[in-house]
Amino acid sequence: MDSVTTGPLGPKHKATSRPSGPPSPEKPLAFSNAADDELRRIVEKYPDAGMRLLPTLHVAQREFGWISEEVKHLVAHRLAIPVAHLESVVSFYTMFHQRPVGRLDVQVCMSLPCALRGSGETWAAIANALGIAGGEITADGLFSICKVECLAQCDRAPVVQVNDEDHLDVSADRVKSFLDSLRNQTGDGKAGA
Amino acid sequence: MGFDRVLTRNVGKPDSRKIDTYLAGGGYSAARKAVTSTPDEVVKIVSDSGLRGRGGAGFPTGKKWSFIPKNDTGQKFLCCNADESEPGTFKDRVLLEHDPHLLIDGMIVSAYAIQATRAFIYIRGEMHAAAKILEGAVAEAYARGFLGKKIFGSAFDLDITVYRGAGAYICGEETGLIESLEGKRGWPRIKPPFPAIKGLFGRPTVVNNVETLCCVPPILERGASWFASIGTPNNTGPKLYCVSGHVNRPGVYELPLGTPMMELLDQYAGGIWKGRTLKAVIPGGSSAAVLTAPECQALPLDFDSCGKAHTMLGSAGVIVMDDHTCMVDAALNVMRFYAHESCGQCTPCREGTTWVAKILNRDVHGQGLETDPDLLLDVCRNIEGRAICPLADGAVAPVASIIRKFRSEFDHHVKHKSCDLGKAAVA
């Protein structure tokens, strides 16, 4: 969770460490030095140019939070591929966000094994506690929620993935403490919803 | 409980993912043995063991390898399919996270058998932790000279590279996986040509599942006849069964192929939860046809027995449903998954899965028509067998079987505009 900022964030503070709006024209989007190093390693690791696209998009998303039009152009330019090809790939894979997400993107598995053990109730409890619907972001920019398919941990259902991390056995009655612990991890949560 | 674990023998050991732990248990002796044998000898041992692919189709592994053209001296590829995403399946994750060197050992043997000097592990994008573990394990193997140039002092070179997917179920289909590896949409290819002839970058390629590759080192270490002595005829070896849903102890259980379903559910998974009774089981991941409780009673869980029962062992993702489960809802849940995951290339699959999901949605919500079950079956018949990859058939099998075997629940939904179980929806 390297992108999470600390410090108080109220509804007025919309800024997040992941730039989510269109960047200002005078400061063109660029990869950080660390990301640049990573992209160089990708070139060494995948000698075939085609194979670099998905890994590069993963880096770009971690860097910028989501794959905006500007990010698409940046990546296409970097890999010297047509934007149209990049578009076809980005739109195919669900992990590439085509709109901004919260700093904590809460993904609830809705596939049958999780559903049989109450993921529907878990989803409703999370949406209710945060006051947002799927695809929306809380006013403080902290949370977004979405439904996802099987995360391959069906023995610990319901399963919720938050950014890169799996959370297991998240039954509806645990949702309040689950969200509180997420807030506390980020350092900007008051105890209680 | 009787059976000596083979694939998961290191799971639970401290530092099970470290190369020294794996070596301490005799690890990489299979790879060493392979590179001092001829490729044909390795293929023969695996063929003789009877090993069948653990990804879902159950195709004989040795046979798959033997399709690689022998007179082709150009680049060949081995791809490990670690795109585990079939609902109800969570066995490969256990191997990836707890014993990555077993997989690498198996990949070295398999790559040598087909003379592939380049191999890839295609891992699900969502498996962040497992991808890191694999990267670490591959680096350890390079550091010891087990990967790279002239491995184990032989003339054989092998590079293994980890490649992360980005969220698409269809990339578990081997040609979808290959397309995705090439950096494109994961659209399955029309076959033939099969990957063994024209695969990654148009070169001969074998795609094997994680569990399949993990079966290979023990076969080389302990022999084909040892492996073949486990399980049932034509269904040999140990198997990782994933039990999920309404049982007391969901989990991954390693048992011989052909273990009776009820033994798995009662003895290992602790029986049906909350003191309820068994209603239905989807035995092979959500692409398999549903079984009623009576059909489960005497069923050995192997490829052939499940086939005879008009379902499939598939990925051995055993999804258990108790008597409080609304089957109309279960059908909707499953079809919604396939409608979401259809890659969109073939019209019957793209349109059909969405259409069936829409009809099921109105049935679940009390707006169904009396004619819906027949309409659904008719649409299913027009999806099945009319697409270039198995996703369409996998979408139809569970849903059509649910409609046929639990038709009264559909009729009840239409007549009473509600579920006779009065239970919250699972969809």
Structural domain boundaries of chain B? Answer: 19-230, 239-322, 327-416
Encode pLDDT of B221-268 as tens digits: 999 999 999 999 999 999 999 999 999 999 999 999 999 999 999 999
Q: Rounded to whole angstroms, how far apart are CA atoms B158 and B77?
A: 10
* CATH number of the domain enclosing A131: 3.40.30.10
| Within a domain: A192 | no
Q: Please report, as a single letter, which amino acid is at residue A132.
A: I
Place of tokens 């169904």: B368
| Within a domain: A1 | no
| A152/B84 Cβ within 8 A | yes
Q: What is the DSSP letter of B152?
A: G
| Within a domain: A168 | yes
| Within a domain: A169 | yes
Instruction: State residue A13's pLDDT score.
Output: 36
Residues A69, A123: one domain? no
Assign B77 to helix, strand or coil: strand
Q: Which two tokens stand for residue B332?
A: 């909707």
Domain range for A165 is: 104-186
| Within a domain: A142 | yes
Encode pLDDT of B225-237 as tens digits: 999 999 999 999 9
Encode pLDDT of B344-367 as tens digits: 999 999 999 999 999 999 999 989
Q: What is the DSSP letter of A98?
A: S
Residue A111 with chain B: CB contacts under 8 Å: 87-88, 286, 333, 337
| Within a domain: A123 | yes
Q: Which residues of chain A are at the B interface, by a Cβ-Cβ cutoff of 8 Å?
A: 45-46, 48-55, 57-58, 85, 88-89, 92-96, 110-113, 115-117, 120-121, 148-157, 161, 164-166
Smallest CA–CA distance from A81 into chain B, residue: B183
Which CATH number is B19-230 given? 3.40.50.11540
- Domain B239-322 is found in CATH 1.10.1370.20: no
Q: Which two tokens stand for residue A49?
A: 């140019």
Instruction: State residue B48's pLDDT score.
Output: 98
- The minimal CB distance from A154 to the residues B125, B165, B250 is found for B250
Rama region for A19: left / alpha / beta (φ>0; ψ in -120 to 50; rest): beta
Local confidence band at A187 (pLDDT 50, 70, 90 cut-offs) = low
HSE at residue A106, side-chain half, CA atoms within 13 A, is 28
In chain A, how many domains are there? Answer: 2
Which CATH number is B327-416 given? 1.20.1440.230
| Mean pLDDT within B257-284 | 97
| Structural contact between residues A70 and A22, judged by C-beta atoms closer than 8 angstroms | yes
Residues A160, A121: one domain? yes
Q: What are phi and psi of B333, to 5 degrees?
A: -55, -50
Residues A139, A82: one domain? no
| Within a domain: A47 | yes
Contacts of A189 (CB under 8 A, 6+ apart): A180, A182, A183
| Structural contact between residues B90 and B211, judged by C-beta atoms closer than 8 angstroms | no
Handedness of CA B286, B395, B122, B120 (dihedral sign): positive
Local confidence band at B181 (pLDDT 50, 70, 90 cut-offs) = very high
Q: Which of B219, B223, B333 is nearest to A114 (CA)?
A: B333
Rama region for B19: left / alpha / beta (φ>0; ψ in -120 to 50; rest): alpha
Residue A153 with chain B: CB contacts under 8 Å: 90, 93
Q: What is the DSSP letter of A164?
A: T
Q: Rounded to whole angstroms, how far apart are CA atoms B106 and B83?
A: 17
Instruction: State residue B419's pLDDT score.
Output: 80
Q: Rounded to whole angstroms, how far apart are CA atoms A80 and B51?
A: 44
